[in-house]
Amino acid sequence: MVAQGIVAEISGTTIWRWLRQDALRPWTRRSWIFPRDPAFAEKAGRVLDLYHRQWQGLPLGAEDFVLSADEKSQLQMRQRLHPLQAPGPGRPIRVAERYRRCGTCVYYAAWDVQRARLYGQVVDQGTILTFDAFVGQVMATEPYRSAPRVFWVVDNGTIHRGQRAADRLQAQWPNLILVHLPIHASWLNQIEIYFSVLQRKALTPDDFSCRPILEDRILGFQAHYEHIARPFTWCFTCDDLQELLARWGQAGERRAA
C-alpha cells in the first residue's frame, strides 16, 4: 500500500483491523467432510434409535444393553526433557517444548449408554486379536454375559469394519450385535465424548516415559470418571438428522450450481 502510494504510512494493527472487518476472508479456511455414504440416514438412524432404546421399530427390552466403543489409537508416550513446572499465582503450568519419544500404545474403551459404565484396556498395538480380547473381557462380565442382546456401536475402523467383523464377533458371542456408523460419522459415537474429556483432563499436557505410567493415568481417570458419570443427555433424534441432511443437500446443490 505504501509502495503504490495509497497511504504514506500504515501500521500492521490498522491493516489487521481492516481485514477483520471484511465480509470475505480468503485467508481463513475450515475443513469439512460431506457425507458420501448412500445409506447414511439409514445407518445413522439405527444408532440414534438405539440411543433412544429402539431397534427395528420396537422398544428394547429391560435386559438389552447398548455399548458405544472405539479405540484411541497412536497414543504417543513423550517424556519432556525438563520436568513440568506447576502453575502459580497468575502463571499457568510450564511445559518444556523438547521431548523424547517413548513409543505409542492404544486405548480401547466401551461406554454403556444407559448405565454410564466404562470399560477400558491399554494395549501395545491395535489388532483384531487385541480388539476381540477386549470385547471378550467386557462380554464375560455381567450383565452382558446373560443379556439377550448387547449392541456394540462402532465406526468403520479396520479391526471392526464390515459384515465380516459382525459375523466374527457374533460367532464368539451370540448375543452380541455389531452396529456400524456411516463413514465419517464418529460424531454420533458417544464414546468420543468421553475421549474428549479424557484428552483434556488427563492427557494434556503429556509427559509419559513408558506405557505403565500412561496406562495408570488413563485407567485411573477412567475409574474416577465412572464414579461421577451420568448417562449423556442425548437429544439428537432421527428427525433432527433428516433436517440436517436436508440442509446438507441444499448446500451441495448451491455448491454444484
pTM: 0.84
Assess if residue 4 is contained within a domain. no
Assess if residue 90 is contained within a domain. no
Which residues are CB-neighbours of 147 under 8 A, at least 6 positions away?
63, 64, 65, 175
Assess if residue 2 is contained within a domain. no
pLDDT of residue 41: 92
Assess if residue 8 is contained within a domain. no
Number of domains in the chain: 1
- By residue range, what is the domain housing residue 198? 40-84+95-256
The three three-digit cell numbers of residue 99, written as one number: 521431548
In the chain, which ranges are continuous DSSP H helix?
Answer: 12-21, 40-51, 128-139, 162-172, 191-202, 211-228, 238-256
Assess if residue 119 is contained within a domain. yes
pLDDT tens by residue, 208-257? 999 999 999 999 999 999 999 999 999 999 999 999 888 877 666 555 55
Assess if residue 14 is contained within a domain. no
pLDDT tens by residue, 154-169? 999 999 999 999 999 9
Assess if residue 52 is contained within a domain. yes
Measured CA distances, 155 to 113, 128, 132, 158 (Å): 16, 14, 15, 9
pLDDT of residue 254: 58
Assess if residue 183 is contained within a domain. yes
Domain containing residue 179: CATH number: 3.30.420.10
Supply the DSSP string of 22-71, one letter for each residue: -S--TT----------TTHHHHHHHHHHHHTTEETTEEPPTT-EEEEEEE
